[in-house]
Amino acid sequence: MVLNYLWISFFLIAFVVAAIKLIFLGDVVVFKAIVDGVFETAKTGVDISLGLIGVMALFLGFMTIGERAGAINVLSRIVGPFFSKLFPGVPRNHPAMGHMMMNFSANLLQLDNAATPFGLKAMESLQELNKDKETASDAQVMFMVLHASGLSIIPVSVIAQRVIVGSKNATDIFIPCVICTFVATMVAMIITAFKQRFSSRQWVAILIFSLVGSACLAGLAVFLRHLTPTNASIFSNVLSTGLIMLLFVVFILGGMYKKIAVYDAFIDGAKQGFEVAVKIIPYLVGMLVAISVLRNSGVFDYIIKGAQWFFSQLGFNTDFVPALPTALMRPFSGSASRAMMIDAMTNPAYGGPDSFVGRLSCMFQGSSDTTFYVVALYFGSVGIKRTRYAIPVSLLADLAGITTAIIVAYNWPWTGPVLEVAVPK
């Protein structure tokens, strides 16, 4: 419902602004610019969606190998003790644990479409333990906020989009995205733990997880800060691409150990890549067209200039402002924020996908999940009407991820374009 009103408002606002420019400013080409942009953007949306087929087929194929090889079961045994502290009301061997683990595992690779079926099953399993069927249980709220915080270790979909639009270094946002999603997840987890009045034993588990994760990320950040920008970029690339390749090899070796047909498993998973890419075409085209209407009518320019004025009055550097539409749209719609990210990477005024704005928009996209969408989908699937504090906590986690992304983007040892951007007149 929110997305419906949002999409309609894009067109109505664009029409009003264009009419004002025509009547009062004498801009006789504004409607032509809007219509030309609509047709061009519709074509771009299809091209981008079809370009995702290969990447989605690749990762969904390897995810299937890992699933059949028992990688998820191994991961469950590793994190099971920690999960039992986060979800004390869920028996350790309950099916919900396995479903949540599969959901989080797919989320770690940002395979949104692969995570959704497991998330729905997890919510359904948790609903079986819920005494008040219309009110979200503690376990359901914790699962929801952790899912919405978007913790990931490899932002597959963002990297894929960067490849498609011609990035020279598509994986350089890998580690920054990990940092942002970790902060967002910790904020979501800690606030929810306070609300649910965790015991001292549960807080110890969270503290250990926080310290280990923070120490790893802090150590990595300090190490990179002591390298030259060139060497830091090289290290980041080697680490990110190396981890992806290691994941592939581990899944293959696991499949060989389990004596499964590895290639057949890959093909079964890869077949889903085409289906996923085709399914998102109408959503991506719809949002890209709506965004194009706003941009070509001049609405975006006014928003950006207004935000720049506001933050400049506060004494902030405003280079991050052109990337903000991605962050603001992310809680409402994944397809809308993805379209915003693509627009930021392909807009020549900002310098391309490897510019400061291009990279920051990708970090915004990879630092959280579509809060309102997942809340509506997951809770709605089991008839939950009272979501309690799930949405406020998720939005606070989103804010933490956005703030972290801006801080990291300004301080990360990027190589390539300088930080200044040219906002269109």
* pLDDT at residue 247, as a whole number: 78
Give DSSP secondary structure letters for 352-369: -TTSHHHHHHHHHHHS--
CA dist 33 and 351 (Å) reads 22
CA dist 33 and 27 (Å) reads 10
CA dist 150 and 121 (Å) reads 18
Q: Which residues 6+ apart lie within 8 Å of 255 measured at CB?
A: 65, 68, 69, 262, 265
Alpha carbon 31 to its chain centroid, in Å, reads 33
Torsion of CA 187, 157, 163, 274, to 10 degrees: 180
* pLDDT at residue 424, as a whole number: 42
Q: Which residues 6+ apart lie within 8 Å of 74 measured at CB?
A: none
* pLDDT at residue 276, as a whole number: 65
SS3 130: coil
Give DSSP secondary structure letters for 150-167: T--SS-HHHHHHHHHTT-
* pLDDT at residue 256, as a whole number: 94
* pLDDT at residue 12, as a whole number: 95
Give DSSP secondary structure letters for 316-379: ---TTGGGHHHHHHTTT-HHHHHHHHHHHHH-GGGT-TTSHHHHHHHHHHHS---HHHHHHHHH
CA dist 337 and 325 (Å) reads 8
* pLDDT at residue 232, as a whole number: 63
* pLDDT at residue 98, as a whole number: 72
CA dist 70 and 78 (Å) reads 13
Provide the greatest CA pair distance for the chain. 73
* pLDDT at residue 421, as a whole number: 46
pLDDT tens string for the chain (425 positions)?
445 777 888 899 999 999 999 999 999 999 999 999 899 888 877 887 777 677 778 877 887 888 788 876 676 666 667 778 888 888 877 777 777 877 776 677 665 555 666 777 788 889 999 999 989 999 999 999 998 887 776 676 787 788 888 888 877 887 888 889 889 999 999 999 999 999 998 899 888 888 887 888 778 767 766 766 567 657 766 766 677 788 789 889 999 999 999 999 999 988 877 776 677 678 768 877 887 888 788 887 788 788 888 988 988 888 898 898 888 878 766 666 888 898 899 888 888 899 999 999 999 988 777 777 677 767 877 888 888 888 889 989 999 999 999 999 998 877 655 444 444 44
pTM flag (> 0.85): no
